[in-house]
Structure 1
Amino acid sequence: MMNNSNIKQRNRLPIGDRVSVFLKVLTMVGMMGIIPAFLQGQEKPVRGQVRDSESTPLEGVTVQVKGTRTATATNANGNFSINASNGDILVFSLIGYQPRELTLQNQMVVNIQLTAESRSMEEVVVTALGIKKESKKLGYSAETVKRQDLLQNRTVNVMESLEGKVAGLDISPPAAGAGSSTKIRLRGQSAFAGAANSPLIVINGLPMDQGARSSNGWQPAYDLGDNMQQINPDDIESMTVLKGATAAAIYGSRAANGAIIITTKNGQRDQGIGIEYTSNFTVNSVLDFTDFQQEFGQGQGGQRPTDVGSAISTGMLGWGSRMDGEPIVNFDGVMRPYAPNPNRIKEFYRDGTVFTNTVALSGGSDKGNFRASFSNSGAKGITPAPDNRYTKRIFNLGLNHDLTKKLHFSFNANYTKENNENPPQVGAQGPGAPNFLTRMSTSIPLAAFRESAVAENGTERQTSGFQGTLLNPYFAKGREFILNDRDRFLGTATLRYDVMDWLYVQGRYNYDYSVSKLEFNTPTGRGTSTPFNNNGQGPGFNGMYHIEQAKGTEINTDFLVGASKEFGDFSIDLSVGGNIFKRDVGTFIDEVEDFTVRDLYSIQNGINKTINNYTIFRDQTNSLYAFAEFGYKGMLYVNLTGRQDWFSVLNPEANSEFYPSVSGSFIFSELMKEQSWLSYGKLRGSWAQVGSANGIPPFSNHLFYDILPNQLHGRTLGTILGTRSPNALLRPFSVEERELGLELRFFDSRLSFDIAAYEKVTTDQILPVQISNASGYTDTQQNVGSLQNRGMEFMLEVIPVKRDNFRWTSSFNASLNTTKVLSIAPGTDRFVAQRFEGNEFIGALVYEVGLPLNQLSANTYLRNENGEILLNDNGRLLQGPVVNFGSALPKWVGGWTNTFTYKNLSLSMHFDFKAGGKVLSSSALNGLRQGHTKASLIGRREGENGVVFDGVYRNGEKNTIAVNPQDFYTDYRNLQIADPFIFKSDFIKFRNIALTYNLSDYVKNKFGFIKGLTLTASCRNVALLYKDLPDYDPEAFASSGDNRVGYEQATVPTTRNYAFNLNIIF
């Protein structure tokens, strides 16, 4: 048996990798040696606080000594510290507020109030390449995420906090707990392949893919997380969502689906040393949406089991007699009451917990600033068998330093170590707890499965007729494991030289290194009555052990030359740059079956090696780009960009692509200044053409060979890997997008409105196309498909109440997107992307020309010309043709947030919704045919002698024949009819509520050394207000991939999360 100590020992990385990671961290820590230099020259600090007219502390106010480069910014509590001399003039400025100047006259403490501007609605947005621009200059959609949205309702994966909060951003987290990935889509799904649909993530100038690692296979199916969970929300300074192709065009092929720009904190100049501590504790309580029938128990044909054999064969069936509490025999031979057990979900799962602590040290002088933080998260998942645990440690460092008056250096580094033990199986009918708990008869108590999981010979005791499918989770505890380790280092170094006040040169180096290790097993005796290989016919003990390790390095080296100049009423910004992107990935996989020594899971102990694979690939992209901005009188702006990419994965004779864009904005409110009701008005428009090579892996255009895992007569043999023919003519798919937007703000910005409309056409999609088997292959990849995305985004913000001590802000956003298939392959109008195959699967996910993407397709009822359902002469169903039931993709995504602020108390409530998609529920099929759902009660209640289905015979006469319910409902599976199992995937959720109390003024006056204290209590997943899918949360079955979208299977339940957060600043 595999014990915990062995599991933890196996969970460690190889010594070489640990040394490599340690040296990187040591190098990073060594950078902190320059920190003391920042602390020189703090002889006359001036401290203070900046508030607005309602006495609310203002964060991000720039405080600058006029005529110098000495500047700082206020923290979350409005506090600042800056070195200045008597007679100096301090300038206080913040976008949206009137600037103020104050001459120092021996003051050491300065408290100042800023007044909101009624007309200037300009805000600074972090755009591509980390360049900050005033929002009025942008001709495309870009939305800055509010930091409180990330901090008030914390999640282990920071992207989950944004559900329904950004127009056009669709967030779908699977119900897999801490360490899981999040599906991110901007403006819908614009490509067939799932990997090519996520936006680019840019952290401190370092571009990277989302990197979701969620299994789409049948079994096992585990969610192994993504790159976003390696970001600590406490370290985030700003997050900007660049929605359209124009917004992210300068990033080229990697940003065909937009980009999310994240900047982490670097501390503040002239701040002195500061310490910030944040602690968050979350309890995750399981939500059970199942509402199964509790009238009839285990059995079939209306009869309860009478012996152990019948108890085993009917363990998954609820077609027995009406439960009366009398003792009956169970699968283990023990007599137990024949009574319902309706709380099995909550009885099996436990409350999960997440405890996160972050400590940050920051400081600065007039020459620079720094911030270093360490975060530790420990999570206990809701799944006890096998025991799910997740830990994460993050070290983050950011610093800026003026080497000279013109030469500036910045450095950011992030090191993350993750350990995920036994993540729950998601969305699969394989050997997982969700499948078992929802398909075993309600009359069998959970204690029976727990107490009798192991047979006398040490194998899993058989509980049902589906011995290899419905597997007891209690047998897995202590025997079955899945261990996932990951170490990652991100580093960015930037050097900028200001040649003149209008001209600069910048160089940047980004380094991304990761190493991951995955191990899992099938223990001996799992799903079988014998521990021996091949039912005792072969040597050794049955079982499986799998291990894989991946190392990856991504290096980005870029340069940028920028110039900005004004000529009277005209302004011009010009930039020219280039980038070299190198990627090096190596993966090895070993898998063995059957073991010489029982319960020893290692490659050496395996008898049959089923996988022995080592893969290494390298690719490189060279790029040159330029962008220009032309302005007139601060109200008219035109932006042009162009980027040329050269790809190593393409044929050298045709490996280059060019991506242009143009955008413009017109601030027409500048011509209507006499209209007091209009605070701000802007019209924007853009066009861009970008592409993506993400669907083209290295070596896909050339033939290459692999080594067979097992030798033949002592010889190692080579083979051509796979059945797909290489294609030397592959090229990146292309995305052309147009956008038009309008921004309006009225009545001193008490009413704000933003609407955008866009059309995006994606051509040269890469799809597998079947070829003749005579070629030695079955298919090849070709540029054949095209899609069209059309949509609108709407944002509305209202301040209904704005008084001295009370403020109510209400914001609503919604987006409409439809993705239509324009073409597939020549001569092909329909393509099956994924068949939902297996023992109980029905239907498929298909692409069909002229219809919205991702159609759920399956057999329907056979109907006559009047639309009536036809039955055979025995009153039973007949199989109809295969039809499309609708797209699995939602059309509408949005949210509504209300925030009430009274003095230092803030209450925030958020609702979000999705609508317009369909879901095919395999659980509903299994629940009906096996007698578990309430729908299965029709035909066996008092006074009913069977199912008299509402249909007609072929002669047109109405059906009057009653059919045995078990036989009738089993026909749905046998005939693969899907109609009763198609539901809307719509939902409306009361997503979260948060109460925040800012005690900064009190503790500062009381203790002095404490600069800020904030307490927050919150609840996430407060209530599910509307859904159409019975028994399950329509979000729970989500996957980060696109191949199984809209297909529901047994899944881990969602949770309601109660959290308490403490933030204290010294």
Structure 2
Amino acid sequence: MNRLKLLLSLFVFVCTTAIMAQTVTINGTVTSAEDGLPIPSVAVTVKGTTLGTLTDAAGRYSVSVPVNAQSLTFTFVGMKTITEDISGRTTIDVVMTTDMLGLDEVVVTALGITREKKALGYAVQEVSGSELANAEETNIVNALQGKAAGVQITRASGAVGSSAQILIRGIKSFGDNQPLWVVDGTPISNSSSGATQWSGVDFGNNASDIDPEIIESISILKGANAAALYGSRARNGVVLVTTKRGKAGKIKVSLSNSTSFDNVAWLPTYQNEYGQGVNGEEYIWKIRSGTAGSVYEGMSYQDYAHAYGFRYVDGMGGGRGDGTDESWGPRLDAGLKLNQFFAPADPSLSLAENLANAAPWISHPDNVKDFFTTGITSTSSVSMEGGTDNLTARMTYTNVLEKGTIPNTDQKRNQINLSTVMDISPKLKVDVAINYSKTNNDNLPGQGYDVQNIMQSIGGWFGRQVDMKLLKENWDTFFDNGMPYNWNSNYHNNPYWTVYKNTTSRNRERIFGNATATYQITDWLNIVGRYGMDYYNEFRKHVTYEGSNDAPYGNGGYFSQNNRDNRETNADIFLNFQKDLSAFQVSGNLGASYRNVLYNYSYLGANMLTVPNFFDISNVQGSPSTDMYRSEYEENSVFGSLNLGYANQIYLDFTARNDWSSTLPKEAWSYFYPSVSLGWIFTETFGLTDSAFSFGKLRASWAKVGSDTSPYSLTAAYSAVSPSYDGNTQFAYPNQLPPIGLKPEFTTSMEFGVELKFFDNRLGLDVAYFNNLTNNQIITADVSGSSGFTSMKINAGEIESKGVEVSAYGEIIRTKDFSWMTTINWSKQNTIVNELAEGVTSLVLNSSWSPTTVEARPGEPFGQIYGIAYQRDADGNKLLDGGFEIRTDAPVVCGNTLPDWLGSINNSFRYKQFTGNFLIDAKWGGDIFTVTKWFGDYSGITEVTVANGIRENGMVAEGIDVNTGQPNTTRVSTQAYFGNYWDFTEPGVVDGTYVKLREINLGYDIRFRNMMVSNLNVGLYARNVAVLYLHPSNDIRIDPETGYGTGTDALGLEQYQLPPVRSMGFKVRVDF
């Protein structure tokens, strides 16, 4: 970190130098001539310089200018630009008038180049930094939820530091579908790793290292057309992040803090009528006790429940049902007394003697809820900026402290952003930005179907009679037999033992940024050189104490640790040109780039320890487990673009790029891809410039983007295996056959759109149709075992995705004191698998509990859920035999993981100095195979398993009896009915539809003049506020927008998710 210290010292020196210039402060208000209302976000600049500021929500501004400054320029989209002479004034109020031709909104596009939005022939949607800040999210991906059409965010869980997946225009490939992230022109990693369906820890996604406090805006380039210049990584779209830069003038300091109190938003719906055990439901007792000659004849419910329903001895099967974790035991709150983990039975005593020591068998309806705690997230930032005409600088420090809703889980993050812009000479400009983050976690929760995931225990199999308070008070004590204090030691740990003993820690450091030099060769030509780097190092360690369910006594406990080191460098050099030739405008660029990615991984683990619970490599019994991996990737590229405009009406763009990839065979490592787009502002052509119809544009684009594969896919390497032979290490040849003639994967994209604006731009509509076709997909296919291998990478398969996006806004009310703005985003798409490899009828994308799979099959939608379903008659009625549903003989389609449509509506308000907004977003459709419901019904913990008195009276399932052809009348026990769910997919599939009130924000802004404090803002906010609608099939109320991971293969599969979190907090910001 010596280099970081040096950079910090240099930055402080730069800041000190930058603020030495003498300045004067000018204040004022900007209003509209049309209605007298204040105009926010007007750019106020010192003419001939880059110095300036923006007006606030009340149209007010305050700008520091050099004492020799002559005039100020005021610019705003749709308004005529105004220049005002300063002439010694310190207050300058301005009234702006509408300019129907001045629709020169600019957006950031590929390579960080700003262009007028009206000139683009493809869809770009921009989200401002202030809009992102409303969410007060610590992970910037989550802050994008509902902010742009066609963008789907999927959260892995509600745990601290959890990852989030972002999809732009859905699925395009069998492999990676994540967009490229670019910060200030330099690509950075947004990879994630950790949790699987069956185990692991979610370590978050890398984009969470971006500090939301420093973001000026985010541009979302949605199609391959918009992103062609970024190469293969951009085929899934690009998220362009532009960070804030310092403004010239005296030093400005901002202090801010936001603090939220986080609680579990909701939990699955559990029943509270029957407890742990087997055969304890009243219906079974009534039949058995009324059967003449049976051992149960005449037994009271108390005696039956004690002898045959549940009796705790050791929690490992020593009693009756105490080793099971299903909740088919006796009825709760019925006056029964039973032996439980805090009042166990003694096997040497009689039933009657043990009954005397039993405890009341009562429900604890909030036992799962009681495990969770109130989390706290506190984010504190300080920023400083200032500068002269020739040098500006900005520094931001942010500290984030998170305490999770799961006990003993946390995250601490420190972030520093440094940026400076220097005009070295009238022709040379240098822009440097550095971002550093350090993240520490003492413990992150386990996930998946694993003993380390507390929801797999308390959320999936927990006895409804278990008193969580006792488990909390005694988690670090032991029974007389030496086992840890627990409710069921056969399958589970005490949840407090899990979170306090079996911890997973993580330390991560990351630095990313770039240096950009721009030299103005002539007034129409410049050359840009940029060097960017993204480096991180991460150390992870997991420990499991002896006495845990998966580390029995004598084992000593176990641990594992790994270190991963990733460095990506990008270097670009390109010429930019821009020339007006009478009615024609010509611009473009020509350049080359170099990319190198170096990754190192090392692993060390021990399955048994000599000294119990001493987690060090020197304490390993036998030989430790070790692993090392190193990879390097290199890519060289040339690219260019040509942009032609005519009379501010017609815009035609061409791009081309050629990549040379180190991961493809020599004969295929060079691949070329072009794009073309056309925009026509027809309101200019036909002179439609009245206030009712302000702007109209048609656009069309076509692009082709290539993609390569992962490093070292072309060759096979031996790997060490255990055990050794005669003291010599053995090496094995891999089972995957090296590919033959592998080629790049290509995505061809088409887009057609229309943009309309009405009533002086108070109402706007943007509609786009897109079609993405990806072929030559690089997939791993099975090969004949007779070849000596099991699989091989090949080019095969074609996916086609088409859809519609709609973005609309309307300024519904605009008066001097009050305004109301509504923004709507909506998208719908279909993704079809056109073909797979020759002879391949199905590609299994992922699988859950047998026989459930998520597959791609030719001619079918992507992401079909296959499994065993109910047999039905021609009218759709389920068929039953003996009171139980009949299953299909083979797997069939049980659902599809992709949503039908996505939508959101955001309302923003201003009343004088008060501001507010609320965001509602929705996902309609998209099926989920949820293990929480599937096993919850099977184990008897869900509400549906006690509905309508079925445990007292038995259950008659709806459907047609195949033996009579009439509605079913056969009554069966509830335990037997739901026990039939095993190996049965359809009962676990729910519709993932949801409508949520995502955000609420209220703020109050106070401006001060001629005081040390220039602005004070206070506010309240809430996130994940309420669920407004869930589909009725989701009767267990899982959160449909979370899963076990963020990869494409995780879509539509849920495995005991950690519950979602609702946050409510306050924020304060002070500007000096």
- Report the TM-score when normalising by structure 1: 0.92
Greater alpha carbon shift after TM alignment, 773-782 vs 798-807: 773-782
Please give the per-residue CA displacement for 1:829-859, whole angstroms capped at 9, x wherever unaligned.
222221213xxx5511111111111111110
The alignment of Structure 1 onto Structure 2 pairs a total of residues equal to 1015
Look up the match of 1:485.
Answer: 507
Matched, 1:246 2:225: yes
How far apart are 1:916 and its partner, in Å? 2.0
- Note the 1:49-198 alignment, pairs <5 A: 49-53=28-32, 56=38, 58-59=40-41, 61-65=43-47, 68-69=48-49, 71-74=51-54, 78-84=60-66, 88-193=70-175, 196-198=176-178
Which of 611, 619, 623 is the matching residue for 2:625? 611
| CA 816–85 in structure 1, closer or farther in 2 if over 3 Å, else same | same
Matched, 1:388 2:366: no
| CA 872–422 in structure 1, closer or farther in 2 if over 3 Å, else same | same
Greater alpha carbon shift after TM alignment, 94-103 vs 907-916: 94-103
How far apart are 1:214 and its partner, in Å? 4.4
SS at match of 1:860: coil
Look up the match of 1:17.
Answer: none
SS at match of 1:1004: coil
| CA 949–283 in structure 1, closer or farther in 2 if over 3 Å, else same | same
Look up the match of 1:3.
Answer: none
Greater alpha carbon shift after TM alignment, 650-659 vs 100-109: 100-109
CA distance in structure 1 between the partners assigned to 2:482 and 2:230 by the alignment: 57
How far apart are 1:717 and its partner, in Å? 3.5
Look up the match of 2:291.
Answer: none
How far apart are 1:676 and its partner, in Å? 3.4
Contact 1:91 1:100 in 2 (8 A): yes
CA distance in structure 2 between the partners assigned to 1:756 and 1:630 by the alignment: 22
Look up the match of 2:331.
Answer: 321
| CA 475–99 in structure 1, closer or farther in 2 if over 3 Å, else same | same
Look up the match of 2:445.
Answer: 424
| CA 707–301 in structure 1, closer or farther in 2 if over 3 Å, else same | closer
Look up the match of 2:298.
Answer: none
Look up the match of 2:299.
Answer: none
Which of 696, 716, 728 is the matching residue for 2:729? 716
- Note the 1:908-1057 alignment, pairs <5 A: 908-937=917-946, 941=950, 944-948=953-957, 950-954=959-963, 956=965, 958-973=967-982, 976-1000=983-1007, 1003-1004=1008-1009, 1008-1028=1011-1031, 1029-1031=1034-1036, 1032-1037=1038-1043, 1039-1057=1045-1063
Greater alpha carbon shift after TM alignment, 416-425 vs 660-669: 416-425
| CA 795–705 in structure 1, closer or farther in 2 if over 3 Å, else same | same
CA distance in structure 2 between the partners assigned to 1:1061 and 1:857 by the alignment: 48
Look up the match of 2:532.
Answer: 510
How far apart are 1:529 and its partner, in Å? 8.8
Matched, 1:341 2:323: no
Q: Partner amino acid for 2:1027?
A: L
Which of 650, 673, 681 is the matching residue for 1:667? 681
Matched, 1:648 2:662: yes
Contact 1:457 1:530 in 2 (8 A): no
Q: Partner amino acid for 1:992?
A: E
CA distance in structure 2 between the partners assigned to 1:110 and 1:889 by the alignment: 55
CA distance in structure 2 between the partners assigned to 1:115 and 1:441 by the alignment: 70
Contact 1:319 1:966 in 2 (8 A): no
Look up the match of 2:242.
Answer: 263
Matched, 1:904 2:947: no
Look up the match of 1:638.
Answer: 652
| CA 369–252 in structure 1, closer or farther in 2 if over 3 Å, else same | same
- Note the 1:414-813 alignment, pairs <5 A: 414-438=435-459, 439-451=461-473, 453=475, 454-456=478-480, 459-461=483-485, 463-464=487-488, 467-468=490-491, 470-527=492-549, 530-533=552-555, 541=556, 543-609=557-623, 611-670=625-684, 671-693=686-708, 696-708=709-721, 711-720=724-733, 722-813=734-825
Contact 1:282 1:1060 in 2 (8 A): yes
Contact 2:199 2:447 in 1 (8 A): no
CA distance in structure 1 between the partners assigned to 2:942 and 2:275 by the alignment: 12
CA distance in structure 1 between the partners assigned to 2:181 and 2:331 by the alignment: 57
Please give the per-residue CA displacement for 1:731-763, whole angstroms capped at 9, x wherever unaligned.
331100000010001111221111000000011
How far apart are 1:530 and its partner, in Å? 4.1
Contact 1:379 1:391 in 2 (8 A): yes
How far apart are 1:146 and its partner, in Å? 2.3
Please give the per-residue CA displacement for 1:158-215, whole angstroms capped at 9, x wherever unaligned.
121221120011111222333121110000011112xx20110000111123212242
Look up the match of 1:1059.
Answer: 1065
How far apart are 1:133 and its partner, in Å? 0.4
Matched, 1:23 2:46: no
Please give the per-residue CA displacement for 1:287-316, whole angstroms capped at 9, x wherever unaligned.
224322222223321234245212523443
Please give the per-residue CA displacement for 1:396-434, whole angstroms capped at 9, x wherever unaligned.
001100001111111000000001232223343543211
Contact 1:579 1:623 in 2 (8 A): yes
CA distance in structure 1 between the partners assigned to 2:526 and 2:628 by the alignment: 46
Greater alpha carbon shift after TM alignment, 313-322 vs 646-655: 313-322
CA distance in structure 1 between the partners assigned to 2:772 and 2:551 by the alignment: 56
CA distance in structure 2 between the partners assigned to 1:1048 and 1:724 by the alignment: 30
Q: Partner amino acid for 1:700?
A: S
How far apart are 1:333 and its partner, in Å? 3.0
Q: Partner amino acid for 2:1015?
A: G
Contact 1:143 1:240 in 2 (8 A): yes
How far apart are 1:88 and its partner, in Å? 2.2
How far apart are 1:875 and its partner, in Å? 5.2
Q: Partner amino acid for 2:384?
A: L
| CA 507–429 in structure 1, closer or farther in 2 if over 3 Å, else same | same
Contact 1:710 1:716 in 2 (8 A): yes
CA distance in structure 2 between the partners assigned to 1:190 and 1:876 by the alignment: 38
Q: Partner amino acid for 1:198?
A: Q
How far apart are 1:105 and its partner, in Å? 1.8
CA distance in structure 2 between the partners assigned to 1:550 and 1:624 by the alignment: 31
Which of 191, 194, 215 is the matching residue for 1:236? 215
| CA 934–108 in structure 1, closer or farther in 2 if over 3 Å, else same | closer
CA distance in structure 2 between the partners assigned to 1:22 and 1:891 by the alignment: 52
CA distance in structure 1 between the partners assigned to 2:732 and 2:160 by the alignment: 41
Contact 1:165 1:894 in 2 (8 A): no
Greater alpha carbon shift after TM alignment, 751-760 vs 438-447: 438-447
CA distance in structure 1 between the partners assigned to 2:539 and 2:456 by the alignment: 27
| CA 878–261 in structure 1, closer or farther in 2 if over 3 Å, else same | closer
CA distance in structure 2 between the partners assigned to 1:458 and 1:869 by the alignment: 51
Q: Partner amino acid for 2:688?
A: K
CA distance in structure 1 between the partners assigned to 2:551 and 2:387 by the alignment: 68
SS at match of 1:229: helix
Greater alpha carbon shift after TM alignment, 358-367 vs 1022-1031: 1022-1031
Please give the per-residue CA displacement for 1:667-707, whole angstroms capped at 9, x wherever unaligned.
111123354311111111100000222xx221110122333
Contact 1:905 1:997 in 2 (8 A): yes
CA distance in structure 1 between the partners assigned to 2:743 and 2:480 by the alignment: 60
SS at match of 2:780: strand
Percent of aligned pairs sharing the same letter: 27
Look up the match of 2:880.
Answer: 871
Please give the per-residue CA displacement for 1:554-611, whole angstroms capped at 9, x wherever unaligned.
1111101111100110010021011000111110011210111100112222224463
CA distance in structure 1 between the partners assigned to 2:966 and 2:85 by the alignment: 96
Contact 2:828 2:902 in 1 (8 A): yes
| CA 1050–572 in structure 1, closer or farther in 2 if over 3 Å, else same | same
Where structure 2 has 5 or more consecutive residues not aligned to the other structure, the ranges are 281-304, 314-318, 345-357
Look up the match of 1:287.
Answer: 265
Please give the per-residue CA displacement for 1:479-500, whole angstroms capped at 9, x wherever unaligned.
2110111100112011111011
Q: Partner amino acid for 1:892?
A: W
Please give the per-residue CA displacement for 1:76-105, whole angstroms capped at 9, x wherever unaligned.
575343545668233222333321111222
CA distance in structure 2 between the partners assigned to 1:971 and 1:856 by the alignment: 20
